Structure 1
Amino acid sequence: MTDSKLPKPLSGIIPPMITPLKDRNTLDIEGLERLVEHIIAGGVHGLFVLGTTGEAPSLSYQLRQEVLERTCNLVKGRIPVIVGITDTSYVESVNLAEFAADCGADAVVLAAPYYFPAGQPELLEYVTHIAPELPLPMYLYNMPSLTKVTFDPSMVKQALDIPNVIGLKDSSGNMIYLHEIIQICKDRPDFTLLVGPEQLLAESVLMGGHGGINGGANLAPKLYVDLYNAAKAEDMATVRKLHNQVMELAMSIYTVGKHGSTYLKGLKCALSCAGICSDMLAEPFTNFKDAERAQVNSALEKLGLLSDKASC
């Protein structure tokens, strides 16, 4: 395994970076450059490439490698880069982890394979087999809404003994589950616990979590960093104020449209309106039309997230 300078635990805001696209298989290179600099300028603590928000399962293997390599070259070691390697193919997950190590990434993130639903003993075997083959330390990624499988607390407890498993990202939205994981990991202060849904960021940090991998931090990174810092300091007045702003962002931008894809469509549209990158989505999704774009633009104006020059 490659020697990693990754903080243990990794704490703070680690945005799950969107993948700026020009078409189905072409990266928006200029948009990627602006996005990376925009995110880093917000004071974030790391960057998560090829996650759910990055539409990784919908990207070609060539494009996954390109966005990873370009992002690592742009970051230049300023913050840790962690990389999603989830795939239905065990071998492809290992291949991408090896490529990530060659690019200079710091860790990888693995959800359960998302076609054949594995039982908990099978899932533990899978993690036990793959972890020692990876050249980088690994975070588990609990995403049951998309994988059909949960990393049960009992399984996570056993995974604590696997040397290369160093943390968990929980995107279940289930705070009872997260509280159970926090209890299980009390004797492992080096084990990272990060939450995905930004609506739960403040609560999770106040209860002992280490931060968030929150999609909205693509758009307003400083807001999420400030909320994390306030929760860490237990500054409840500031927590309430900033949590309310995060909720307003989520409820006004992620709810435009009718389908489960509205989160991705809304976030990419907002970044396009802000002049950062293209709003092209990977198939099977397409970007918002004029009526939805106008709704997103209006929401950004109310939230104060548009510069004088930016507009849809």
Structure 2
Amino acid sequence: MTVPSATDISFSGIIPPMVTPLLERDTLDQEGTVRLVERLVEGGVGGIFILGTTGEAPSLSYRLRAEFIRLVCQQVAGRVPVLVGITDTSFVESLNVSRIAAEAGATAVVLSTPYYFPAGQTELIRYVRHLVAELPLPVMLYNMPSLTKVWFEIDTLRQLADLEGIVGVKDSGGDLEYYGKLTQLKQVRPDWSILIGPEHLMSKSLGMGGDGGVNGGANLYPKLFVRCYEATRDGDPPRIDALQDQIEQLQAIYDIGKYASRHIKATKSGLAILEVCADQLAEPFSHFLPPERERVAAILASLDQNLIQ
């Protein structure tokens, strides 16, 4: 299989990091998955990213990941690009998941730094070069240092810029100085797509030369984030301010709970409240209990329905 040149593919707009709807241990919520895919596509998203952080990929069996990839690609049916996370501690398993993604009809794969044993930058460069050479799809690199404990340093990315199979970088580091340096890499690779994770920074990142957002809140309200992206792109300050205010109000759901898993719990809780899919999480994590869920519901109810729906 020939890997498309990075010059032939680009990503922009809102590409939600889709949750993985579950019913119970290792059981996919298929109906919920279909409803969520339709909610995102109808919301005008620029693509869908599955099996990332919000998708709980490290907690899922390879069997379920394969089932999920195939179901999402089948339901999307080419209407928007599908990006599939392949980050793993095992080189071979990353490659295996990428092959399943290619066979299912995905557009690209997404790769962060291997976790557990932190890789040095020299090791990381060699690892990416070896993996990209074997991948059946273009790859977007994913900077997620809070969880993987390793940054894709700017000089590392500059050294990897000669690889045509790399189509860009998704950054969830939350450091706008770093993000600004990422966008400067377009001087070397003007075809690269530079996307941001933290949703409250999405609008600001576009003014720095970014191309869009991979924002978890778009699972709940894709139209809100798409409208904010469009207003920023079109230069409409009053509308940007109104939409940004709603995005920042939505952020309050992530302050509920005390564990790192609260971001996924809050997102899935919101989707259950909206009757999109179940709120089950993969073990060892559990969904919000009624008191926390009521707080999520109150925050969702407080948003301006004219702006979010």
CA RMSD of aligned residues (A): 1.5
2:107 is matched with which residue?
Answer: 106
Counterparts of residues 234-273 of structure 1 (less than 5 Å)? 234-251=235-252, 253-273=253-273
Counterparts of residues 57-206 of structure 1 (less than 5 Å)? 57-206=58-207
C-alpha contact (below 8 Å) 1:9/1:189 kept by paired residues: no
* Cα deviation code 1:123-179 (max 9, x no counterpart): 011111110100000000000001010000000111111121110000000101000
The secondary structure found in structure 2 opposite 1:254 is: helix
The amino acid that maps onto 1:209 is G
Q: CA deviation at 1:53?
A: 0.3
Q: CA deviation at 1:92?
A: 0.4
C-alpha contact (below 8 Å) 1:220/1:305 kept by paired residues: no
C-alpha contact (below 8 Å) 1:5/1:106 kept by paired residues: no
Runs of 4+ in 1 over 3 A off after TM superposition: 1-8
The amino acid that maps onto 1:179 is G
Q: CA deviation at 1:4?
A: 4.8
C-alpha contact (below 8 Å) 1:33/1:74 kept by paired residues: yes
How many residue pairs match? The answer is 305
Q: CA deviation at 1:304?
A: 4.6
Counterparts of residues 34-73 of structure 1 (less than 5 Å)? 34-73=35-74
2:218 is matched with which residue?
Answer: 217
1:285 is matched with which residue?
Answer: 285
- Structure 1 unaligned blocks of 5 or more: 307-312
* Cα distance in 2, alignment partners of residues 96 and 203 from structure 1: 34
The secondary structure found in structure 2 opposite 1:44 is: coil
Q: TM-score, normalised by structure 2?
A: 0.96
* Cα distance in 1, alignment partners of residues 143 and 61 from structure 2: 23
* Cα distance in 1, alignment partners of residues 120 and 29 from structure 2: 39
Range moving further from structure 2, 137-146 or 258-267: 258-267
Range moving further from structure 2, 180-189 or 54-63: 180-189
C-alpha contact (below 8 Å) 1:2/1:101 kept by paired residues: no
* Cα distance in 2, alignment partners of residues 104 and 5 from structure 1: 17
The amino acid that maps onto 1:184 is L
* Cα distance in 1, alignment partners of residues 234 and 276 from structure 2: 32
Q: CA deviation at 1:260?
A: 1.6
The amino acid that maps onto 1:64 is R
C-alpha contact (below 8 Å) 1:8/1:192 kept by paired residues: no
Q: CA deviation at 1:239?
A: 1.4
C-alpha contact (below 8 Å) 2:3/2:135 kept by paired residues: no
Q: TM-score, normalised by structure 1?
A: 0.95
The amino acid that maps onto 1:90 is F
1:310 is matched with which residue?
Answer: none
The secondary structure found in structure 2 opposite 1:169 is: strand
